[in-house]
Amino acid sequence: MAKLIYSMITSLDGYVADEHGEFDWAMPDEEVHRFVNDLQRPIGTYLLGRRMYEVMVYWEDATAFAGEPDFVRDFAAVWQAADKIVYSRTLERATSAKTRIKRAFDPETVRRLKAGTEHDMAVAGPELAAQALRAGLVDELQLLVAPVVIGGGKQALPDGVRLDLELRDERRFGSGMTYLRYGITGALRGDR
Ligand SMILES: NC(=O)c1ccc[n+]([C@@H]2O[C@H](COP(=O)([O-])OP(=O)(O)OC[C@H]3O[C@@H](n4cnc5c(N)ncnc54)[C@H](OP(=O)(O)O)[C@@H]3O)[C@@H](O)[C@H]2O)c1
């Protein structure tokens, strides 16, 4: 059975993008990039909200990274190797390979997919991830916390969700980013 992982780079105050949609402060340096590559490598299937898909599909062009450093080319290869399911009511066609579009998020379908899949899965995009968290489908949080406070914007974690967590791993990087890996051990008592 696959784990479903929600992995994000956030500000210390828990945002993935500021009020203008900017997240330049979240750009990983080489050390973090290499670490993220290894985190993402085992992922067999991404569940992507349409907005996150539109950011990530940048990595699809196999020729675009030819002159880039190895760790950048490596991430492109990791992205291209995985299956993608994009959730959208508006996207007419996907511009990446190995990609399906779903018009609705059905927790039962995702539960079955997890049960029948060997490789771990990741959910990306806070709006989509909120639905997976609320449905109790997410097994693990992987947060890379950037050393910034941005005061508002798009929250990584939704309001109204309360979870019991177990810290399973942590790491600090030269840039001041920190990595926190938490297992979700349950909803806080009385919440689900
Ligand atoms: N911190 C970082 O490193 C980083 C990296 C990349 C991106 N970002 C930021 O992350 C944010 C993207 O996250 P987001 O929360 O805005 O969006 P998201 O979850 O990626 O995508 C939301 C979209 O997914 C579709 N969707 C969601 N639920 C659905 C459902 N039940 N059925 C069908 N379609 C569904 C809808 O697409 P339609 O509108 O097409 O129906 C919805 O507008 C952006 O602000 C981006 O700039 C941050």
Q: Is the CB of 126 under 6 A from ligand 1?
A: yes
> Nearest-CA neighbor of 60 among 27, 32, 87, 84?
84
The per-residue pLDDT for range 1-59, each reduced to its tens digit, is 999 999 999 999 999 999 999 999 999 999 999 999 999 999 999 999 999 999 999 99
Give me the residue label for tokens 């979700």.
Answer: 184
Determine if the pTM surpasses 0.75. yes
Which atom, in ligand 1's list, is nearest to the CA of 124? 20
pLDDT in tens, 65-98: 989 999 999 999 999 999 999 999 999 999 999 9
Tell me, what amino acid is at 83?
Answer: D
Distance CA 94, CA 54 (A): 10
Q: How far is the CA of 83 from the centre of ligand 1 (A)?
A: 18
Testing ligand 1's pocket by substitution, the residue of 15, 22, 52 carrying the most ligand atoms inside 8 A of its CB is: 52
